Every structure is written in C-alpha cells, then in structure tokens.
Amino acid sequence: MTFTAPETTHYVPKDLPTHIQHFINGEFVGSVSGKTFDVLDPVSNTNYATAAAGQKEDIDLAVAAAREAFVNGPWPKMKPRERARVLNRIADAVEAQEERLAELETFDTGLPITQAKGQALRAAENFRFFADLIVAQFDDAMKVPGSQINYVNRKPIGVAGLITPWNTPFMLESWKLAPALSTGNTVVLKPAEFTPLSASLWAQIFKDAGLPDGVFNLVNGLGEEAGDALVKHPDVPLISFTGETTTGQTIFRNAAANLKGLSMELGGKSPCVVFADADLDAAIDSALFGVFSLNGERCTAGSRILVERAIYDEFCEKYAARAKNIVVGDPHDPKTQVGALVHPEHYEKVASYVEIGKSEGRLLAGGGRPEHLPEGNYIAPTVFADVAPDARIFQEEIFGPVVAITPFENDDEALALANNTKYGLAAYIWTQNLTRAHNFAQNVEAGMVWLNSHNVRDLRTPFGGVKASGLGHEGGYRSIDFYTDQQAVHITL
Ligand code: NAD
C-alpha cells in the first residue's frame, strides 16, 4: 500500500486567538462563571486556545438580548429589501475573507484546504440566496367571490436557537443563519465545541454589514450545558439542530415541555447503488468522492456501496486501486485529499470501526493509520468488500473515510439492501436505464436522491432525511416556512 506524503510541515495560521469568547448583544464577552474548555487542532492534538464554556446564565443573557432585539429592535420590522441589502453585504464579506476563513476552518477541523475554500463560498451563496428569496416572497390569498377574502400574513417567530455540528461548521452555520435572519428572526447560535474557531468570525462580519446588535448572539460551550439550556429556554420558540440522531432524540424530548418548532438534520448511512449498465468510471469517481471528500465526515456520505454482481469484482479492484492513491496528509497542503479527523475522540471512534470491519469484511485498502503519518488524527481511506447487511459497518454511521461494499443480484435485492438501515438521508444511483433509475428513486427510503450524479445541490430543493435521518425539511421556501408563522386573516365581504 503506498501513500504520497505531502512535503509541507504543519501550517499554523497567523493571529490565532488564544481565547474564543461569546458574542452577546454586540459585544464579545466571557462566560459569567469564568469557565472555559480547551480547543485542539487535529494535526498536533495540542490545545491552541480556550473557549468560553457557556452555562445556563450565559444562554439566559444571550436569549434576553435576542428577545429584546426581536420585540423592540428594527430587524423584524425592516422591509425585505432592506434586510436583503444587509444579507448581501454579509455574503460579500464572507467571499472577501474566503482565504482566511478557509485556513482557519482547515486548521480547526482538519478538512483539506481546497475543500474548505469551497465551503466558504457556499456559505456566501446561502446569504445571497435567501436575500433574493425574501425579496421575491409572496403569500397566498384566497377569495370566495362576493363572500370572503382570506390572506396569509407571514411573520417572523422570535428567537431561533441554532445548534450546529463540527463538520463544515461555518457553512452549516450559514445554512441556518441565512434563513433565520432573512425572515426577521433574531438568533442564538451554539456551535460545536470541537470547532468553535470560525463561528466567532460571524460577529465582525455581521457588525460590519450593519446587522443591529442583539440580532445575532453566539454562545460557545458543551452540548449538555449550553446546548441543553438553549433547548430548554422558554423564550426560544424554534430550535434548528444538525447533529447525531441520538442527540436529536434528546433535544426532541427536552423541547417538548415548551412545544417548540423543531428542524432536525441528523445522521446517515447512505447507499451508492451501482448497476452493471452504469458508466463505471463516472460511478467510481463519484463513489470515491461520496465517502472520502470532507474526510468522510459528511452527513450525506455514500458509505455503503452496493454493486451488481456482474461488475462486482471489476468495481472492487478499480475502486480499491483508486482509494490507495488518495493523498492523505496535512490539511493545509493543497495536494491533500484526506486530512486529519476532527478530534482524537472521533479518531478513536473511526479507528475502532476499522478494527470491527476487519472481522466483518474483506479489507481492500487502508485499514488504519497511514505509515507516513505517525501523529495526528489520520486514517487511510479504508475499503471493505463482501460486507453483509447485518454487519455493524453496514448499519452504523462511522463518519470517517471508511466504506463498505456489498454485492447484489437484481433490482429487488438492491432496493432491499439500500433500505436496510435505520437511516434515510441520501441515495446515489448509477445506471443507464432511466426507467429503472426513476423507479428506484421512488422506492428508496431517502430524503434526497442523486441519479448518475453526486451531491451538487440546488439551493431551492428540499434538504432533509427520512427515518432516523431527520424530521422536517429545510432548503428554499421550506426554510422560510420553518422560520415564519403563517397567520390566516379572514374578511367577510
Ligand atoms: P452531535 O450531535 O454530537 O453535536 C451536534 C451539536 O449538538 C453540537 O453543537 C453539540 O454541542 C450539541 N449538543 C450535544 N448534546 C446536546 C444536548 N443534549 N442538547 C443540546 N445540544 C447538544 O453531532 P456532531 O458529532 O457534532 O456531528 C456529527 C453528526 O452530525 C453526524 O451524525 C452527522 O451525520 C450529522 N450531520 C447531519 C447533517 C444533516 O444535514 N443531516 C449535516 C451535518 C452533520
């Protein structure tokens, strides 16, 4: 097994903060309690900063500021066009800082630098998209001639609690911030504790763009402390959460007392189904990208590859050869294709699945730490073939560069295998037979399907999963619906 070793040494961005604070009511502040937690970089696994560890009292302050900005501030009452101007300035600022954002994100998360750059641009695009959408927004009016007129009055809801994970943190934050703010809500963001660095950049970006104080508030901290307090706060009517399914279940229970609006984007174990008539080279390219881009730390990763028996051996051989040539190394090196996993705890989890896989499948590539990288959270792209559907590596989300390949005999078996997990986030289907492709899409239990293509999103389309992968949809008008109340007004003529 050979890996190409990138030549650079570990890159540390200039002017890193040594302490990451909350941002409440337009000011950077520490925790009321003075508590902090350590933040590691995933290449050296040393603490490069501490972050304020938000507790209930910090969440109380942030929610009070957001509530005041919602009730008495200008933001919810501004005309859509005025809000859109602010959102477009935010997008411009994100684009202008693309290089800096990418280097910080790469340093904090271990994502390859070339992929982190794309994430910054997607974040800017989210703001532009919702700026356009709110200006073009119109609502229903229903008329019974001579008798009644009814119309819909769309209103922002209040303080939205946004809880985000550590994979592509800045982009995923934008995915919630842009629709929540564009619709006139105020927010409290609780970013993931593994990767708090880039979230604090929003504060200056928003200030410079003219977002009024108190509209955006940021509280760092652990999920069980800051996140929990946000979920339970009575003045936070909405929680938009992205993270693990089990965390989603806890949040669901904790939000019940206050009957909150919930949007849940959860885990996945998505199938990539390759039929014998597929364009094999394109399918292999896509199936590699599907599980090894973003270090495999991608909710929509195609982490189970199902391959029709007639091309199974050829597929496995070609796929494994390509996986072995993936460049693993320092995330900041532009040649790197798989960087360091986010945190030693996550590294241990992924490494343990690699060991489990060795007794559940036939190891074709990878299988642990690359020889040339003795330190840092590196796992070689790992491919297991002949994986049975009851295997743990077939059923459980690994969230790293590890893939299970399983053969199938016919369309019915492919569908049964595809649907044989508790998750239902995405599915990828490769076949030249479009009738089969559309029928498969109809029957596969997945919130999103890509036919002969991969993971390019049109921001207007619904985003979300079924089964244990989520509840509700965001994306385009569905996000506008989640972050607004639609009041029906009836007039008798
Ligand atoms: P996680 O569930 O551990 O944490 C996510 C966020 O929830 C963090 O900010 C964390 O601090 C917070 N949290 C944890 N416990 C909490 C509690 N009791 N109350 C309130 N907040 C709490 O997830 P993670 O490990 O950061 O992220 C990886 C997971 O996210 C994977 O399962 C992945 O599939 C999923 N994900 C899903 C999507 C999607 O769109 N479906 C996108 C990205 C990631």
ipTM of the complex as predicted = 0.97
Burial 115-124 (b: 16+ CB within 10 A, else e): bbbbbbebbb
**Among 225, 299, 308, 397, the one annotated catalytic:** 299
Which residues are near ligand 1 (CB < 6 Å)? 163-167, 172, 190, 192-193, 222-224, 227-228, 231, 242-244, 247, 250-251, 265-268, 299, 397, 399, 425, 465, 470
Please count the other Cβ atoms lying within 10 Å of the Cβ belonging to residue 432. Answer: 12
Q: What is the Cα–Cα distance from 481 to 360, expressed in whole angstroms? A: 44
Q: Given this model, what pLDDT does residue 93 score? A: 97
**Among 225, 265, 397, 474, the one annotated catalytic:** 265
Tokens coding 208: 């410079």
> Is pTM, for the whole model, over 0.90?
yes
Q: Given this model, what pLDDT does residue 6 score? A: 45
* Residues 6 or more apart in contact with residue 422 via CB below 8 angstroms: 245, 395, 467, 468
Type of residue numbered 281: D
Please count the other Cβ atoms lying within 10 Å of the Cβ belonging to residue 131. Answer: 23
Q: Helix or strand or coil: residue 335?
A: coil
- Site to probe by mutation for ligand 1, drawn from 108, 167, 219 as the one with most ligand atoms within 8 Å of Cβ, is 167
Q: Given this model, what pLDDT does residue 5 score? A: 42
Q: What is the Cα–Cα distance from 419 to 137, expressed in whole angstroms? A: 37
Q: What is the Cα–Cα distance from 438 to 451, expressed in whole angstroms? A: 8
Q: What is the Cα–Cα distance from 255 to 236, expressed in whole angstroms? A: 10
Tens place of pLDDT for every residue, the chain, 493 residues?
333 444 447 899 999 999 999 999 999 999 999 999 999 999 999 999 999 999 999 999 999 999 999 999 999 999 999 999 999 999 999 999 999 999 999 999 999 999 999 888 999 999 999 999 999 999 999 999 999 999 999 999 999 999 999 999 999 999 999 999 999 999 999 999 999 999 999 999 999 999 999 999 999 999 999 999 999 999 999 999 999 999 999 999 999 999 999 999 999 999 999 999 999 999 999 999 999 999 999 999 999 999 999 999 999 999 999 999 999 999 999 999 999 999 999 999 999 999 999 999 999 999 999 999 999 999 999 999 999 999 999 999 999 999 999 999 999 999 999 999 999 999 999 999 999 999 999 999 999 999 999 878 899 999 999 999 999 999 999 999 999 999 999 999 9
What's the gap in Å between 266 CA and the centre of ligand 1?
7
DSSP state of 225: I
Tokens coding 89: 């300035």
Q: Given this model, what pLDDT does residue 120 score? A: 86
The position carrying tokens 């008495």 is 72
The position carrying tokens 């494994």 is 320
Active site residue 299: yes
| DSSP-assigned states of every residue in 347-371 | HHHHHHHHHHHHHHSEEEE--SS-T
- Site to probe by mutation for ligand 1, drawn from 164, 253, 299, 345 as the one with most ligand atoms within 8 Å of Cβ, is 299
Handedness of CA 428, 434, 440, 442 (dihedral sign): positive
DSSP state of 223: I
Active site residue 317: no
